[in-house]
Homo-oligomer: A and B are copies of this chain.
């Protein structure tokens, strides 16, 4: 029945088609090695320890291994069903949205122009990226295969295939999210005359489609990889995570540069130079500005949150196996399945009456979130009570306290509790962001008041607000991490502690469906408002209806601003949680001599290696300082990139304005040229920051060694979190302070409302905040994760060049009777090291030079 339904859906929906394709790729890639395995079984068993990675591995082991109960097998298939149910729900909503009224011809024309621009951008981006992804697939395959000296190695193939799948899924989510936003905004605008409730529902459901796609694909990917590789899924999972994060970085940076370049460019030439209103059709940059909202806020953000969803499950699955055996892997998958289920129900509940308002909409959206949280928590507590019995503690004393065993002799509820902390963390981060960026709180009011005394005081107050918000965000994250650690206090294994933190991340992103719905709703409502403004036929609608519909769209826009801002804290929080938990993975890779997580590292060996990473080693402090400076350099680069791209747009618009017919409004400007400039600039500009993300960990690791690389990661997490929170929240506060000034009655004598000096000061704040909150700030999340993944992937190559580390790992392995790869640390090929250092230096040098060279031209005239 499931298959029949699948086939039916498949034939109708491109998205499903694409994801099935990715899955097929995974299997196809494995085909040669499946055959090879069949042969290997006939051959004599390899000498013990010769190739540990090859010993006794079978695909789809969970189907016949005695370790798994039938209930577990059923649950895994059930998870697949839930994943497809999520996708099916997305398909259903898509049908609803597509079927909705599309409004007047003029509205459709505007929407079509925006859509066309957005499609062009994404197609261009995906084409460029596809080449890079192709190259990386080969690099990942070859490096792994060379490391184990076997070009048919299952894990070399699995890693490359999973990387492709992760990247494809991430791109798909971004692409679909954006397409739908450009479909949904038109429908919302058309629904507004019908009533508030209808418009809200359409807008929110447009977001939900992307949300459920994220949920479904994320769950599908993780589950399939586990089904395929079983307890040896590590290599494939790392590839899956890397693919997702890398794509997200491209989408975030490219989209972020596009949207703000178009915005700033359009404003500079329109508002500042020519003194014409924001959406004046004579301004050639208008359409690009609207396109930007979609490629930045929808495509970039959807890919970003998909990646967070993916990396947290990757971290939990990797740690789960080495911590507690296969139950530690299946539990997070099942928790995610519960989350998808809860999201389906709770997002469907969001609705409002025809005469609704901002408060009612917010109440309904929040109600949906609370219902979802409640369902999830109940779900995974019940699941835990049934499932978390007789975990595999690898012979260590589990030390289960009474509040975790609940009186049972075999129960260990601690992973479920860690999830609970994650749910609370998510709610707390949302609230914290709201307090610093919501108009009803003192932070934004402070900026608003400081606009009275001028541009500078508004900016200064924003600094204070942003700094403080970063502190509270950090403290909330610290509390959650400390809580997750405390759950396992008294136990001996640091891996269990890391697993607790990873499960906190799982809990935190349980309601990703709802989070993305809220997020995407922002730009959809924003665009719908724009389409209404430009496209409504005032005469045909009648004055009363027109005003009513416009008010509804304006209200929805306000709701979207709030929901969009509020969820930003979760993204950067997920980077910190994932990075903290992945530290254990980093050490395991070093301790196992680069063999990864194929078999649990003995506790003594793990500790023996972990103890090298002491902050009393100046080398690690140097790594931390370098790592901490990367988010700043990255921000500097992206901020400058926006400036350069905006400058090109200003130039183009100036040229078009010189055409007297365009200026008179009798000839349509060439919107497409500006869209093309934006597209090309964004493509070009994202290379430098991407190089920084990929090559800086490679350079540090090869030049200063794997220990400095660990410090590098720690430093980048600490500074990255603080900087991202600062930039996002200061930007959000300035944005809403401007909104508060604009909502005042206009009175130039009293210095209030639009056009007043106060308003000008507030616009300065908003403009300063734009590249901070929409380009640099949110891109730090994928930056941190890409650096983390690159570090884990490359550290096996670096570790062999550090004699002290090699010596220590060998000594520890001998003491613990752990078998290292046979040729670990013997005569490493120093050409690899020099090659990597030179390539990284050239790439980074080019990136920095590029970012500076054009800056002068950009600011030049």
- A: residues with CB less than 8 A from B are 268, 272, 442, 446, 449-450, 453-457, 459-461, 463-465, 467-468, 470-471, 474-475, 477-478, 481-482, 484-485, 494, 497-498, 501, 576, 580, 583-584, 586-587, 610-622, 624-626, 628-629, 632-633, 635-636, 639-640, 642-643, 704, 710-711, 714-715, 717-719, 721-722, 726, 763-765, 767-768, 771-772, 852, 855-856, 859-860
Determine the chain B residues whose CB is within 8 A of the CB of A617 once the complex forms.
494, 610
Chain B minimum-CB-distance residue to A619:
B485
Is the beta-carbon distance between A454 and B614 smaller than 8 angstroms? no
Determine the chain B residues whose CB is within 8 A of the CB of A460 once the complex forms.
639, 642-643, 767-768, 771
| Smallest CB separation, A480 vs chain B (Å) | 10
- Beyond the given pairs A615-B710, A715-B718, 4 more chain A to chain B contacts, judged by CB atoms under 8 angstroms and listed by A's residue number, are A455-B455, A460-B771, A463-B768, A632-B726
Chain B minimum-CB-distance residue to A771:
B460
**In the complex, what distance in Å separates the CA atom of A614 from the CA atom of B583?**
11
Is the beta-carbon distance between A459 and B768 smaller than 8 angstroms? yes
Number of copies of this protein chain within its complex:
2
Determine the chain B residues whose CB is within 8 A of the CB of A456 once the complex forms.
763-765, 767-768
Determine the chain B residues whose CB is within 8 A of the CB of A621 once the complex forms.
481, 580, 583, 714, 717-718
**In the complex, what distance in Å separates the CA atom of A710 from the CA atom of B719?**
17
| Smallest CB separation, A84 vs chain B (Å) | 36
Determine the chain B residues whose CB is within 8 A of the CB of A497 once the complex forms.
618
Is the beta-carbon distance between B640 and A464 smaller than 8 angstroms? yes
Is the beta-carbon distance between A616 and B639 smaller than 8 angstroms? no
**In the complex, what distance in Å separates the CA atom of A539 from the CA atom of B464?**
49
Provided the pairs A485-B618, A611-B611, A764-B454 are in contact, do residues A722 and B464 lie with their beta carbons within 8 angstroms? Answer: no
**In the complex, what distance in Å separates the CA atom of A771 from the CA atom of B442?**
21
Q: For A481, give its contact among B475, B618, B632, B633 (CB under 8 Å).
A: B618
18 contacts between A and B (CB under 8 A): A268-B457, A449-B859, A457-B767, A459-B768, A460-B767, A463-B635, A464-B855, A477-B625, A481-B621, A481-B622, A482-B619, A484-B618, A587-B616, A615-B711, A621-B717, A621-B718, A629-B722, A715-B718
| Smallest CB separation, A126 vs chain B (Å) | 29
**In the complex, what distance in Å separates the CA atom of A763 from the CA atom of B455?**
10
**In the complex, what distance in Å separates the CA atom of A478 from the CA atom of B856?**
28
Is the beta-carbon distance between B629 and A463 smaller than 8 angstroms? no
Chain B minimum-CB-distance residue to A638:
B464
| Smallest CB separation, A597 vs chain B (Å) | 15
**In the complex, what distance in Å separates the CA atom of A94 from the CA atom of B461?**
43
Chain B minimum-CB-distance residue to A616:
B610
Is the beta-carbon distance between A461 and B859 smaller than 8 angstroms? yes
| Smallest CB separation, A319 vs chain B (Å) | 12
Is the beta-carbon distance between A722 and B471 smaller than 8 angstroms? no
Is the beta-carbon distance between A474 and B616 smaller than 8 angstroms? no
Determine the chain B residues whose CB is within 8 A of the CB of A618 once the complex forms.
481-482, 484-485, 497-498, 501, 580, 583
Is the beta-carbon distance between A635 and B449 smaller than 8 angstroms? no
Determine the chain B residues whose CB is within 8 A of the CB of A629 once the complex forms.
470-471, 474-475, 722
**In the complex, what distance in Å separates the CA atom of A610 from the CA atom of B580?**
21
Q: For A584, give its contact among B501, B616, B636, B643 (CB under 8 Å).
A: B616
Chain B minimum-CB-distance residue to A447:
B859
Chain B minimum-CB-distance residue to A482:
B622
Chain B minimum-CB-distance residue to A584:
B616
The residue in A465, A714, A763 that gathers the most chain B C-beta atoms within 10 A of its C-beta is A714
**In the complex, what distance in Å separates the CA atom of A468 from the CA atom of B851?**
11
Determine the chain B residues whose CB is within 8 A of the CB of A583 once the complex forms.
615-616, 618, 621
**In the complex, what distance in Å separates the CA atom of A453 from the CA atom of B719?**
31
**In the complex, what distance in Å separates the CA atom of A111 from the CA atom of B768?**
41
| Smallest CB separation, A786 vs chain B (Å) | 18
| Smallest CB separation, A61 vs chain B (Å) | 30
Determine the chain B residues whose CB is within 8 A of the CB of A482 once the complex forms.
618-619, 622, 704
Is the beta-carbon distance between A625 and B718 smaller than 8 angstroms? yes
**In the complex, what distance in Å separates the CA atom of A622 from the CA atom of B580?**
9
Chain B minimum-CB-distance residue to A623:
B478
**In the complex, what distance in Å separates the CA atom of A859 from the CA atom of B717?**
34
**In the complex, what distance in Å separates the CA atom of A475 from the CA atom of B715?**
13
**In the complex, what distance in Å separates the CA atom of A449 from the CA atom of B856?**
9
| Smallest CB separation, A733 vs chain B (Å) | 13
Provided the pairs A478-B625, A618-B501 are in contact, do residues A459 and B459 lie with their beta carbons within 8 angstroms? Answer: yes
**In the complex, what distance in Å separates the CA atom of A581 from the CA atom of B268?**
50
Determine the chain B residues whose CB is within 8 A of the CB of A498 once the complex forms.
618
Is the beta-carbon distance between B625 and A446 smaller than 8 angstroms? no
Is the beta-carbon distance between B625 and A463 smaller than 8 angstroms? no
Determine the chain B residues whose CB is within 8 A of the CB of A856 once the complex forms.
442, 446
Is the beta-carbon distance between A474 and B768 smaller than 8 angstroms? no
**In the complex, what distance in Å separates the CA atom of A628 from the CA atom of B475?**
11
Is the beta-carbon distance between B468 and A633 smaller than 8 angstroms? yes
Is the beta-carbon distance between B622 and A478 smaller than 8 angstroms? yes
